[in-house]
A and B are shown apart, each in its own frame.
Chain A
Amino acid sequence: MTTSQKAPPAPALTRPAGRGRPAPGRGPRPEHTLWPWLFVAPLVAGIAVFYLWPIVQTAGYSFTETGPFGGSTFAGVDNYVALFQDPELYLSLGNTLLYTVIVLLGIPIAVGLASLLNLPGLRFAAVYRVLFFLPYVAMPTAVAMVWRVIFNGDFGILNRALAVVGIEGPYWISTPGAATVAVAVVGLWSSLGFSMIVLAAGLKSIPPELYEAAELDGATRWRQFRAITVPLLTPSIFFVLIITVIASFQVFDLLYAILGSSNPVLPRSMSLVYFFYREGFVANDKGYAAAIAMVIFLLIGLLTALQFRLQRRWVHSD
């Protein structure tokens, strides 16, 4: 407690003052200076050991080569050079992008569903909310089991239904391409409810006077939807878009559980994170896997930055 007689520490004075009211919390009274440290110590120690240090370490590993017995030697940018020449990187990136694009199709659907759900006085709205949200909270590996059977090429109900309308469905989970589509359909199904609820909350914040005024001006419902609902909902749509892209780029659970780890089509249908998992934990090539992880990090960062850049063009703000 040697610092206990000093004046309030400087960081307190440099806090941004834009909050519009005094920052909460008073300066530490001399006898209390250890308290904040006691409060944050367990969490900060845990975060430092299990998250911050591992991030630094992974960045380091990506510049090392892992020997056959797990030893590491410095290898410069060799891993990155090898990775960018590895067709499997582009394959898994392509599959991840296809997956992401299909899951993103859920957002316009969710906009429509949310605006129906928000109609004033709609009965059973709570029931619809629960049913649409159910897939989002269900264990991915457990729902994957039923989707495996639904998509089964021989006796799956999907192909039987398609046969009724004269379409011969592929062997979904054993055909490259079709397998990615199948997993993405499940991804769309499981995230739709989340997007719908977030967008419905966004709709609630649109002032009803705007619709009343439009109604008086004789605007049709479709016109109101286009001219009021969509523009004023763009901030919520942007939020859902960011969350969906970040989550989709890390797809692993559904892919692993629907296709099955021993599926021969998996090497052709893998996502970036599966590629990372295989190199790091099946092939035990730590250095290479670390480089893949850093590339995933970079790609997600770039995509997110790009979206924030583009949002100025289409996200409404006032």
Chain B
Amino acid sequence: MTDRVIQRRRGSHVVAHLVLGLGSLVMAFPFVWQLVMSLSTNAEVQSVTPVFWPSELHWENYAQVFDRMPFLQQLGNSVLVTVLRTLAQILFCTLAGYAFARMRFRGRGLLLGLVLSILMVPSQVYLLSQYQIIQSLGLLDSVGGLVLPGLFSAFGTFLMRTAFLSMPNELEEAARLDGANPFQIFWKIMLPLARPTVAVLAITTVLWSWNELLWPLVVTTYSERMPLSAGLATLIGDRTTDYPVVMAASLLAMAPVLVMFVLLQRRVIDGLASSGLK
């Protein structure tokens, strides 16, 4: 590479850092602003002359979150719902994905087509009936009602089938000759090989389950039965909004997922980008 080319590259890096740096500031600003407000007084948040930094840090706003809303119950609901859905999706989708990819049976094409057809249908189309099913089972305002339809995923099945399709036949053959049954082959040999895709499935399910709003809004009425997403959305209805406490609650509600994201950043980013869905 000539010196001139290297210099041109360096020159363009300055522009890149300027643009990406400013962009990053814009992207991160709402989070920083939320943190600042969560440590301010309500008067400072609403003051007509801007207060960019509170006169003193009001950490007690975070303690107040637990008085103003049933935060711990909602956190518990969010955790329970997310864990149950993630475990169930991993189990059901890997089993079905494996069978659809690597076993032959009558009606496979038809069943697979039916399952995958769900991917083309927006969720509003099944929401009304899902609600009725949950209602008739007496599961409104319960963890069971919150998790039930989300235990099964057409997207997850598609994802796992794709992963199993790309695996070599030899290991399965060898295990079969050794007398392993299909479940042993799946569990001991093929599933461990699919671990990276299982991680993608787990990440997408955790994110979706933690963040979604419409379903919890529909099947829960009492705030102590809601997960955090619905709890926050219904918190702002009242007139006397205590902004710092709301900001503190929002940050606490996002924190688990954001921490997971920062710890697993590469995995999360590449997984979500390759799967193309939230």
In the complex, the answer to whether A131 meets B24 with C-beta atoms within 8 Å is yes
Contact with A along B255-278 (1 / 0, CB 8 A): 001100110011011001110111
In the complex, the answer to whether B95 meets A40 with C-beta atoms within 8 Å is yes
In the complex, the answer to whether B28 meets A257 with C-beta atoms within 8 Å is no
Name the B residues within 8 Å of A127 (CB-CB): 24
Name the A residues within 8 Å of B118 (CB-CB): 47, 51-52, 55
In the complex, the answer to whether A51 meets B50 with C-beta atoms within 8 Å is no
In the complex, the answer to whether A139 meets B167 with C-beta atoms within 8 Å is no
In the complex, the answer to whether B46 meets A140 with C-beta atoms within 8 Å is no
In the complex, the answer to whether B122 meets A250 with C-beta atoms within 8 Å is yes
Q: A9-B106, A141-B233 are in contact. Are A43 and B96 (CB under 8 A)?
A: yes
Partner of B233, one of A10, A135, A257: A257
A116 to B110, CA, bound (A): 45
A55 to B148, CA, bound (A): 16
Interface residues of B in 185-220 (CB under 8 A from A): 186, 207, 210-214, 217-218
Q: Looking across the interface, which residue of chain A has its beta carbon closest to that of B256?
A: A139
CB distance from A96 to the nearest CB of B (A): 12
Name the A residues within 8 Å of B108 (CB-CB): 11-12, 36
Interface residues of A in 249-305 (CB under 8 A from B): 249-250, 252-253, 256-257, 260-262, 273, 276-277, 280-281, 286, 289-290, 292-294, 296-297, 300-301
In the complex, the answer to whether B127 meets A293 with C-beta atoms within 8 Å is yes
Q: A52-B114, A133-B269, A250-B123 are in contact. Are A43 and B106 (CB under 8 A)?
A: no
In the complex, the answer to whether B96 meets A149 with C-beta atoms within 8 Å is no
In the complex, the answer to whether B46 meets A154 with C-beta atoms within 8 Å is yes
Name the B residues within 8 Å of A145 (CB-CB): 34, 232, 236, 246-247, 249-250
A27 to B96, CA, bound (A): 17
In the complex, the answer to whether B103 meets A36 with C-beta atoms within 8 Å is yes
Name the A residues within 8 Å of B27 (CB-CB): 131-132, 134-135, 189, 192-193
Tell me whether B66 is interfacial, beta carbon within 8 Å: no
A49 to B133, CA, bound (A): 9
Q: Looking across the interface, which residue of chain B has its beta carbon closest to that of A53?
A: B129
**Which one of A78-86, A97-105, A117-125, A307-315 is at the B interface?**
A117-125
In the complex, the answer to whether A54 meets B95 with C-beta atoms within 8 Å is no
Q: Looking across the interface, which residue of chain A has its beta carbon closest to that of B238?
A: A262
Name the A residues within 8 Å of B79 (CB-CB): none
In the complex, the answer to whether A26 meets B24 with C-beta atoms within 8 Å is no
Name the A residues within 8 Å of B12 (CB-CB): 119, 221
CB distance from B135 to the nearest CB of A (A): 10
In the complex, the answer to whether A142 meets B254 with C-beta atoms within 8 Å is yes
In the complex, the answer to whether A43 meets B157 with C-beta atoms within 8 Å is yes
Name the B residues within 8 Å of A113 (CB-CB): 19-20, 23
In the complex, the answer to whether B107 meets A11 with C-beta atoms within 8 Å is yes
CB distance from B21 to the nearest CB of A (A): 8
A38 to B182, CA, bound (A): 10
Name the B residues within 8 Å of A9 (CB-CB): 104-106
Tell me whether A316 is interfacial, beta carbon within 8 Å: no
Tell me whether B76 is interfacial, beta carbon within 8 Å: no
A240 to B48, CA, bound (A): 41
A43 to B135, CA, bound (A): 22
In the complex, the answer to whether B183 meets A35 with C-beta atoms within 8 Å is yes
Leading 7 A-B pairs by shortest Cβ distance: A54-B129, A46-B152, A39-B99, A54-B126, A43-B96, A142-B250, A36-B105
Chain A interface (Cβ < 8 Å from any Cβ of B): 8-12, 14-15, 22, 24-28, 32-33, 35-40, 42-44, 46-55, 57-59, 61, 112-113, 116-117, 119-124, 126-150, 154-155, 157, 160, 189, 192-194, 197-198, 201, 215, 221, 239, 243, 246-247, 249-250, 252-253, 256-257, 260-262, 273, 276-277, 280-281, 286, 289-290, 292-294, 296-297, 300-301
Chain B interface (Cβ < 8 Å from any Cβ of A): 5, 8-9, 12-13, 15-17, 19-21, 23-24, 26-28, 30-31, 33-34, 37, 45-48, 50, 91-93, 95-96, 98-111, 114-115, 117-118, 120-133, 148-149, 151-152, 154, 157, 164-165, 167, 169, 181-183, 186, 207, 210-214, 217-218, 228-230, 232-234, 236-237, 243, 246-247, 249-251, 253-254, 257-258, 261-262, 265-266, 268-269, 272-274, 276-278
- Can you list 30 A-B contacts (CB < 8 A)? A10-B106, A11-B104, A11-B107, A25-B104, A42-B92, A43-B95, A43-B115, A47-B115, A51-B152, A53-B129, A54-B125, A55-B121, A116-B16, A120-B9, A128-B24, A131-B27, A134-B261, A137-B211, A137-B268, A143-B34, A145-B249, A146-B37, A149-B243, A157-B33, A193-B27, A197-B273, A243-B277, A253-B213, A280-B128, A286-B128
Given contacts A144-B233, A239-B276, A250-B122, 4 further A-B contacts (CB under 8 A): A131-B24, A139-B257, A142-B251, A146-B250
